[in-house]
Amino acid sequence: MTVTTEQELAEAVKGATGPLHICGGGTRDIGNPVVGDVLSTAGLNGISLYEPGALTIVAQAGTPVADIEAALEAENQRLAFEPMDHRTLLGTTGKPTIGGIVATNASGPRRISVGACRDHLLGVRFVDGAGTTIKNGGRVMKNVTGYDLVKLMAGSYGTLGVLSEVSLKVLPRAETQATLCIFGLDETTAADAMSAALGSPYEVSGAAWDVDRTMHLRLEGFENSVNYRVGKLADLIKSYGEVQIVDDPTASERIWVAIRNVDALAGKDVVVRMSIQPSALSEMHFATRNMFVPYENGPTFDIMTDWGGGLVWIGADANQLVDCAKVVDGEPSAELGGQVLVEYLQSQCAFSGGHATLIKGPGALRNAVPVFQPENPTVNMLSKGLRNKFDPRGIMNAGLMG
C-alpha cells in the first residue's frame, strides 16, 4: 500500500484488518523481522515549508533525504546531526526518506557536539494505530507545551504510529573543516586522547577510532578559526602519538562520511551497535576480547568507535562468528556464533550501562535474539503500556523492537 496524503494514510491504518509493516524508503531494514502488509510513506513527498532565517524545515515523511539536503545546501545549511545512510552497511537500495531518519533516530558523528536527530526534531504529525491523526510539537525551537511526544516518536521505528510530517531544526554549514589523525592507537589510548580533545575548548565535532586503529578528530567552522584550533588541538594531543593533519576539506569530509556510514564493517555478516559510557570502552573491549581469546588467536570481530568512544560498532564475518560459537557447547556454527556475540554484548551492556542493538544480521538470527537491548522490568512495563495506548490493536511494526 502506498498513500499520497495524510488522510489516505489515516484511512489505510483505520481500515487495516491485520498487522502492518511500515516503511519509508526501505533502506533501514533493522529490528526483529516484521510480518504484515507493507504500508509505505514514500508517496508522502514534499517540503512543506523551509525558512532559512528561522533555521527550520518542514517536510512530509516520505520526502527523500537527498531532496532535503539539496534544498538546504542551496541556502548553505544542513541537517547538523549528520544522519547515517544505512545502505552501504546493510546492502540495501532505494531512497532514504526523512521519515526513516526520524523513525530510527539516525544520527552521525556530530551527535557529540550538536545532538542526535531527536534533538533537532521540532514537531511531528503521525497516524496512531487506531488511525487517528495526531500532532505534537511544532516548528519553533523552544516548545514545552504539553508532553514531548516528539522525542518519543524519534527512534520508535514506526511502532507507535506512522509519521506523516516532520519539522526539523537546521543549522548553517561550516565554511571549512579539517581532521587530525593519530595512527596505530590501542583502544585505551584512543579513548583517553578523544576524552582530552572533547574536554578541550576547541569544539571538536567528530571523535572516532577506526577499525585500522586510527583516531580521527574533526574541527569545523570559519577558516581562521579552524586553523587556530587545529594548532591548539594538535599541541594538546601530541603526547598520544604523531599527529597528521588533513586540511583539505574534501578529504576531511570523505573520512567522516565513511565513519558516519560505518563503511569499514560493510563486508561483515553480523554488526552490533553499542551505546556506552566512553570510558567503559577499554574495559568492555578487554572483557569481550578476553572472553573469546582463550578459544582462538585474538579477538574474533572487528571494532570501531565514534562519539569519542561512546558509540561502538562491532562486526563479524562467517569465520569470526564460528570462532565466537566455540565459547559455548554445541556444534560451532556462524548462526550460533551470532547469538553468542549479540547476547554476550547485551549482557556486558546490562552490567556496565548502555545498550547493544543488532543492526545487521540474517533474519534467522534476528528472530532468535532480542535485536534491541532487553529492558529492565519497569521500563519494559512502561514501554508496553505506551504501545498499548498508541497502538491498541498491536498492528504497527509489531514486535520490531521486541
Partner 1 sequence: MQMPTPNQNVLSRKAQIVERLQGVLRDGAVIHSESEVRAYECDALTAYKCPPLCAVLPTSTEEVAAVLKVCHEMGVPVVPRGSGTSLAGGALPTADCVILGVARLNSVLETNYDDRYIRVQSGRTNLSVTGAVEAMDFFYAPDPSSQLACAIAGNVAMNSGGAHCLKYGVTTNNLMGVKMVLMDGTITEIGGAHLDAAGLDLLGLICGSEGQLGVVTEATLRILRKPEGARPVLMAFNDNEVAGACVADIIKAGVLPVAIEFMDRLCIETTENYAKAGYPDCEALLIVEVEGAPEEIDEQLALIKDIALKHDPVELREAQDEEEAARIWLGRKSAFGAIGQISDYMCLDGTIPVSSLPMVLRRIGELSDEFGLKVGNVFHAGDGNMHPLICYDANKPGDLELCEAMGAEILKLCVDAGGCLTGEHGVGIEKRDLMTHQYAQQDLDIQMAVKDVFDPEWLLNPAKVFPLDSSASRRIAAE
Pick from 172, 184, 363, 394: which binds partner 1 (CB under 8 A)? 172
User: Which one of the spans 59-67, 83-91, 116-124, 331-339 is the region binding partner 1 (CB under 8 A)?
Assistant: 116-124
Pick from 279, 282, 296, 318: which binds partner 1 (CB under 8 A)? 279
**Binding of residue 372 to partner 1 (CB under 8 A):** yes
Helices (H) and strands (E) in the chain, counts: 15, 17
Pick from 211, 247, 383, 393: which binds partner 1 (CB under 8 A)? 383
Residue 70: Cβ within 10 Å count: 11
Pick from 5, 224, 319, 333: which binds partner 1 (CB under 8 A)? 224
**Binding of residue 240 to partner 1 (CB under 8 A):** no
Distance in Å, CB of 329 to partner 1, minimum: 30
Distance in Å, CB of 176 to partner 1, minimum: 12
Distance in Å, CB of 320 to partner 1, minimum: 25
Residues between 139 and 158 that touch partner 1 (CB under 8 A): 139-152, 154-156
User: Which one of the spans 86-94, 207-215, 253-261, 273-281 is the region binding partner 1 (CB under 8 A)?
Assistant: 273-281
**CA 268 to chain centroid:** 18
**Binding of residue 353 to partner 1 (CB under 8 A):** yes
Instruction: Assess contact for 57 and 165: CB atoms under 8 A.
Output: no
Residues between 320 and 349 that touch partner 1 (CB under 8 A): none
The amino acid that residue 394 corresponds to is G
User: Which one of the spans 14-22, 95-103, 258-266, 384-392 is the region binding partner 1 (CB under 8 A)?
Assistant: 384-392
Pick from 271, 276, 284, 303: which binds partner 1 (CB under 8 A)? 276
Pick from 95, 111, 218, 366: which binds partner 1 (CB under 8 A)? 111
**CA 329 to chain centroid:** 34
Cell numbers of 298, please?
A: 585474538
Distance in Å, CB of 330 to partner 1, minimum: 29
Residue 68: CB partners within 8 Å, gap ≥ 6? Answer: 47, 57, 59, 79, 98
Pick from 87, 135, 289, 326: which binds partner 1 (CB under 8 A)? 135
Residues between 81 and 110 that touch partner 1 (CB under 8 A): 105, 107
Taking the C-alpha atoms of residue 319 and residue 297, their distance in angstroms, rounded to an integer, is 13
Residues between 35 and 64 that touch partner 1 (CB under 8 A): 51-56
Pick from 164, 179, 373, 397: which binds partner 1 (CB under 8 A)? 373
DSSP H helices, 353-395, are 363-368, 377-390
User: For residue 106, which of 154, 72, 151, 60 has the smallest C-alpha distance?
Assistant: 154
One DSSP character per residue, 233-298 reads HHHHHGGGSPEEEE--HHHHHHHHHHHHTTGGGTT-SEEEEEE--TTHHHHHHHHHHHHHGGGSSS
User: For residue 376, which of 346, 345, 339, 399 has the smallest C-alpha distance?
Assistant: 346
Taking the C-alpha atoms of residue 2 and residue 331, their distance in angstroms, rounded to an integer, is 45
